[in-house]
Structure 1
Amino acid sequence: MHVVIAWWDKRRAAAVGTGRPHPTATAGFRPEDPVPLTGEFPGLRSGRWITDPGADLQGLALVWDSAVSAELSLPALFERTFGCAPSHRWAFELRDAPPRHEDTEDLPAELELLLHA
């Protein structure tokens, strides 16, 4: 299983005129809401919106079937959700991944721990 964490710096995006508002800027948004894009991007198992209000960052934590499926879909996903490439991005593999779940709110325990550390 391939995990991608991507952050967008709202101040930088505003300064250069890139990016656009996304769901975290709308009323009724909850950070624990799943990313509703799993059916649109092949290989995307699940995802979560993430925010760091102190650093004025917002982003995505995405779980993919493989690095190949992630690299094929990430540019379109980033354009669709934020309108530009992320300010910071990193990826890693999780070994012994659980089987794919239909419930997109399910994230592996290791990733839940990382996101709430």
Structure 2
Amino acid sequence: MHVVIAWWDTRRTAAAGTVRPHPPRPADSGPQGQVPFPAEFPGLQAGQWITDPAADLQGLALIWDSAADANLFLPALADQTFGCAPSHRWDFELCTAPTADEDPEAAPAELELLLHA
């Protein structure tokens, strides 16, 4: 599984007039922070909004089937969601995935730790 953490620096991109805040999360879209993504992004397993108000950053933590899927579809997802490419992006591989008896929507423990650190 391939993880992408992407951040948009709203101070830097707002000056260029390119960034837009992510759409508000509908009350019935699922647990806080999780976002449903359209099926038009094959290989995208899950996504979660992340924010850092102190640094004026907005971002997405995305779990993809492979790095190839992320590289192919992240530019379109970024453009659709924020209107521009991310200011910062980190990619890495995780070897663990939820097992069949676990919640299939749950993020791996390693990713949860990173998102809540």
Please state how far the C-alpha of 1:80 moved relative to its aligned partner.
0.5
Taking the aligned partners of 1:76 and 1:52, their CA distance within structure 2 comes to 23
Contact 1:51 1:58 in 2 (8 A): yes
| Cα deviation, residue 23, structure 1 | 2.2
Measured on the aligned residues, the alpha-carbon RMSD in Å equals 2.6
Secondary structure of 1:23's aligned partner: coil
**Long gaps (5+) in structure 2:** none
Q: TM (normalized to structure 1)?
A: 0.85
Cα distance between partner residues in 2 of 1:31 and 1:107: 12
In structure 1, runs of 5+ residues without a counterpart are none
Task: State the distance in 2 between where 1:100 and 1:5 align.
Answer: 25
Opposite residue 36 of structure 1, the aligned amino acid is: P
Deviation string 1:67-117 (CA, Å, 9 cap, x unpaired) is 01111101100000000000000100001333589x774211110011001
State how 1:85-104 maps to structure 2 within 5 Å.
85-99=85-99
Paired residues in the alignment total 115
Mapping of residues 53-68 of structure 1, within 5 Å: 53-68=53-68
CA distance in 1, matches of 2:33, 2:26: 13
TM-score, structure 2 normalization: 0.85
1:108 paired residue number: 108
User: Which amino acid is 1:91 matched to?
Assistant: D
